[in-house]
């Protein structure tokens, strides 16, 4: 049996990855380490929580002793590290918590892995996989090129600076101590179970409730969108087949101006709600642009496609339709999160946050 530690498994992408790994690899034991911050929600994992190869442990990645104890108790062979503070707007208000979780948290996991694995004599069949973002590469010109694995890091927000720093630490542990690592940098994800502070679930929820849709600046910033289950598949593939020490970019060549994406969201949501076409257009509200707002992200994932044969499984139109339907059919989940009831529930069941 392989013991795989997935951090941040109660979050958006982490919960999709945990579900995939628990179902696909009954011989693996999947240990989900998550602090259950405001972004963590075990309701994302209801369908796998009772599987015999799944374990949840509430822990802070920054607590080196606690993380080391988990390595010892569960004989961890592989790590897939997703736990992070992940919202750019929050990083602008509170950069320190991003440095703490994303930098110190990654460092303590690396240190725990090194101590546990080097103590065993060698690193055979061990792997530390770090999940990162395309935002570390900075911003692209409109109509310019793409981020490749060779693009120099140029982060602009405290979030992307903290992720860039964590990537550097992962590479440093590979180069200095020989720790077997892999890194992937992915574009913006969308899909079910995303915390509704992020654009797509926030806007679907606001359209449902006829609330304003706040658009930064003129809505001209461009993001490259990938369906979250395609990201999880790519992580699984890289974890098993990628080259140790390598970096892989993950993206679907799917660029959208924010305002165009919002119009698609309005159209699909109104249709599925049985509203007249354009009924919710009036909700669009232009607001002051985000400080240091990157203009364009676009990922070149040719390496992942050519070396490992990965391609996204869904066209964007199909993915958006599926996503809007999911939020409409799971309004109980949305209400549980937007009302804050989930925080009280986890405080009661898992102690203080």
Ligand X SMILES: NC(=O)c1ccc[n+]([C@@H]2O[C@H](COP(=O)([O-])OP(=O)(O)OC[C@H]3O[C@@H](n4cnc5c(N)ncnc54)[C@H](O)[C@@H]3O)[C@@H](O)[C@H]2O)c1
Which residue in the set 30, 36, 213, 222 belongs to the binding site for ligand X (CB under 6 A)?
A: 36
DSSP bridge pairs for 181: 128
Active site residue 159: yes
At what angle are helices 105-118 and 158-177 packed, to 10 degrees?
A: 20
Report 52-81 residues binding ligand X (CB under 6 A): 60-62
Q: How far is the CB of 277 from ligand X (least distance, A)?
A: 29
* 280: helix, strand or coil: coil
Task: Map residues 195-224 to x or -, x wherever contact with ligand X holds by CB under 6 A.
Answer: x-----------------------------
Q: How far is the CB of 83 from ligand X (least distance, A)?
A: 3
Q: Which residue has the tokens 């990201």?
A: 231
The token duo for 160 is 């992307």
* Total chain residues near ligand X (CB under 6 A): 29
Which residue in the set 3, 37, 160, 192 belongs to the binding site for ligand X (CB under 6 A)?
A: 37
- 266 in contact with ligand X (CB under 6 A): no
- Choose among 220, 183, 216: nearest CA to 284: 216
**Residue with smallest beta-carbon separation from ligand X:** 11
The token duo for 248 is 């892989």
Q: How far is the CB of 274 from ligand X (least distance, A)?
A: 30
DSSP bridge pairs for 104: none
Return the H-helix or E-strand segment holding 107: helix 105-118
- 133 in contact with ligand X (CB under 6 A): yes
- Residues in the chain, overall count: 353
* C-beta of residue 337 within 8 angstroms of C-beta of residue 346: no
- Choose among 334, 206, 337, 214: nearest CA to 285: 214
The token duo for 79 is 């790590």
Distance CA 132, CA 134 (A): 7
DSSP bridge pairs for 81: 7, 130
Distance CA 276, CA 270 (A): 7
- 32 in contact with ligand X (CB under 6 A): no
Q: How far is the CB of 48 from ligand X (least distance, A)?
A: 15
* Angle subtended at Cα 250 by Cα 13 and Cα 260, rounded to the nearest 5 degrees: 80
Which residue in the set 35, 88, 234, 237 belongs to the binding site for ligand X (CB under 6 A)?
A: 35
Active site residue 135: yes
Q: Which stretch binds ligand X (CB under 6 A): 37-45, 109-117, 295-303, 332-340?
A: 37-45
Please say which residue, 117 or 346, places its beta carbon nearer to ligand X.
346
Selected catalytic residue, list 59, 134, 229, 255: 134
Please say which residue, 3 or 86, places its beta carbon nearer to ligand X.
86
Name the residues that contact ligand X, by CB under 6 A: 7-8, 10-14, 34-37, 39-40, 60-62, 82-84, 86, 101, 105, 131, 133, 163, 186, 188-189, 195
Question: What residues are labeled active site?
Answer: 134-135, 159
């Amino acid at each position: 049996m392989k013991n795989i530690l997935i951090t941040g498994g109660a979050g958006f992408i982490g919960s999709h990855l945990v579900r995939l790994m628990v179902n696909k690899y009954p011989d693996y034991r999947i240990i989900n380490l998550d602090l259950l911050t405001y972004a963590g929600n075990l309701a994302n994992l209801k369908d796998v929580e009772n599987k015999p190869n799944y374990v949840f442990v509430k822990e802070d990645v920054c607590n080196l002793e606690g993380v080391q104890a988990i390595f010892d108790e569960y004989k961890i062979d592989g790590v897939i590290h997703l736990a992070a503070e992940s919202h750019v707007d929050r990083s602008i208000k509170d950069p320190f918590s991003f440095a703490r979780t994303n930098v110190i948290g990654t460092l303590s996991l690396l240190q725990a892995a090194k101590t546990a694995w080097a103590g065993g004599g060698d690193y055979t069949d061990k792997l530390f996989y770090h999940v990162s973002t395309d935002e570390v590469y900075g911003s692209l010109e409109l109509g310019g090129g793409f981020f490749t694995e060779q693009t120099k890091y140029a982060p602009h927000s405290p979030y992307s600076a903290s992720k860039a720093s964590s990537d550097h630490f992962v590479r440093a542990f590979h180069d200095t101590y020989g720790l077997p690592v892999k890194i992937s940098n992915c574009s913006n994800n969308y899909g079910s179970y995303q915390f509704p502070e992020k654009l797509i679930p926030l806007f679907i929820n606001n359209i449902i409730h006829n609330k304003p849709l706040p658009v930064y600046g003129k809505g001209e910033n461009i993001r490259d969108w990938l369906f979250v289950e395609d990201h999880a598949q790519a992580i699984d593939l890289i974890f098993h087949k990628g080259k140790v020490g390598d970096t892989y970019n993950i993206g679907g060549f799917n660029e959208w101006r924010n305002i165009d994406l919002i119009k698609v969201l309005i159209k699909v949501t109104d249709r599925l709600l049985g509203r007249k076409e354009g009924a919710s257009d009036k909700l669009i509200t232009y607001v002051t642009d985000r400080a240091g707002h990157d203009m364009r992200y676009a990922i070149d994932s040719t390496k992942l496609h050519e070396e490992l044969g990965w391609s996204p499984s869904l066209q964007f139109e199909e993915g958006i339709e599926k996503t809007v339907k999911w939020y409409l059919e799971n309004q109980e989940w949305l209400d549980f999160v937007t009302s804050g009831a989930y925080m009280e529930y986890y405080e009661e069941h898992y102690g203080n946050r």
